[in-house]
Copies of this chain bind each other. A is one copy, B any other.
């Protein structure tokens, strides 16, 4: 294989592409990966040269700390191709900043911005053919950092790997989503790591979510761990409530992820004269609004689904189906966001990033 040097990068191209083995009309989320990946090692106290290399398995000692102590963080981002085949990212600096915020909370070293953007750009250029410009298609991008040092003492590692892998994605349809409001299990707590995209936050939700599935609910809206009185987030999505014509979402905190789609929705609401309140939301308030008919919509926001309308919820013994809206906010925000992402609309806030 030929290795090329470019600024802060070493680039080794795959001998052949596996793109023909992928059915782009039947993609299962996060199961197919492109021909290349980005990899950069931290050792001897610093990040080494970043490498764009053929997508390939990792070889790690069984004592690598990521296997034992969950020292791992990640991000989720998307690249979009417009009708002129130009590729765009959406607010990638926010993802970059957040992975370093997550890393700091897990005592992991900060990654340099320049190397991240050079690596990601090179990766998107090499695997450009994997990004389709058909409606709803996107490239899901997964940066992640793992502790690789081979030693099982319970302390921060001295060696890490920063990686970026990419998976082509179709328009995301999560199916019909109804949610259970948490009354027993918890996702996060004050002084914990709930605000970080820390690997362990996700595994901790799998079992309670599997119990919700058995009752017919696809996701959980997590509540405060002290009294389960306040609505927080859904683990892979932030949550918005529409009461009459006002949009309400919980404030970010050390328990709640500072979602990039969340803050884009808030900005778009302001731009479009939709009242938006960022404040603690009592479960009781939502139950009351459901009963008196003022609760019009609930939807989630996140990178994978962009906006995910929620059809109904259950809290303790109270079950509620949301009414159908003629012009739902969820569809409005999804369309507005997609239009910016696919370069079909003006971008007044400079959210698009050209590759």
Query: Which A residues are within 8 Å of any B CB, using their own CB?
Result: 28-31, 33, 37, 55, 57-63, 66-72, 74, 104-107, 142, 144, 146-147, 150-156, 163, 165, 167, 182, 184-193, 198-204, 206-207, 209-210, 225-226, 235-236
Indicate if the CB atoms of B70 and A203 lie closer than 8 Å.
yes
Interface centre among A187, A189, A210 (most CB of B within 10 A): A189
Which chain B residues lie closer than 8 Å to A66 at the CB level? 66-67, 199
Q: How far is the CB of A90 from chain B (nearest CB, A)?
A: 19
Indicate if the CB atoms of A30 and B146 lie closer than 8 Å.
no
From known contacts A61-B57, A225-B225, infer whether A198 and B203 are also in contact, taking CB-CB under 8 Å.
Answer: yes
Indicate if the CB atoms of B68 and A74 lie closer than 8 Å.
yes
Which of these, B30, B59, B105, B151, contacts A207 with CB under 8 Å? Answer: B105
Q: How far is the CB of A123 from chain B (nearest CB, A)?
A: 13
Indicate if the CB atoms of A192 and B204 lie closer than 8 Å.
yes
Which of these, B62, B107, B191, contacts A37 with CB under 8 Å? Answer: B62
CA distance A29 to B151 in the complex (A): 8
Indicate if the CB atoms of A68 and B62 lie closer than 8 Å.
no
- Taken together, the copies of this chain in the complex come to 2
CA distance A286 to B343 in the complex (A): 62
CA distance A58 to B60 in the complex (A): 5
Which of these, B28, B33, B186, B202, contacts A63 with CB under 8 Å? Answer: B33
Which chain B residues lie closer than 8 Å to A31 at the CB level? 63, 150-151, 153
Indicate if the CB atoms of A70 and B198 lie closer than 8 Å.
yes
Interface centre among A57, A191, A210, A225 (most CB of B within 10 A): A191
Which chain B residues lie closer than 8 Å to A153 at the CB level? 28-31
Which chain B residues lie closer than 8 Å to A204 at the CB level? 70, 105-106, 192-193, 198, 200
Interface centre among A150, A156, A192 (most CB of B within 10 A): A192
Indicate if the CB atoms of A182 and B186 lie closer than 8 Å.
no
CA distance A235 to B12 in the complex (A): 43
CA distance A225 to B147 in the complex (A): 27
Indicate if the CB atoms of A152 and B30 lie closer than 8 Å.
yes
Indicate if the CB atoms of A59 and B59 lie closer than 8 Å.
yes
Can you list 23 pairs linking A and B with CB atoms under 8 Å apart? Answer: A28-B151, A29-B153, A31-B150, A33-B62, A57-B62, A62-B165, A63-B142, A67-B146, A69-B203, A70-B200, A70-B204, A71-B203, A104-B207, A105-B207, A106-B204, A142-B152, A154-B202, A188-B189, A192-B204, A192-B225, A199-B199, A200-B204, A225-B226
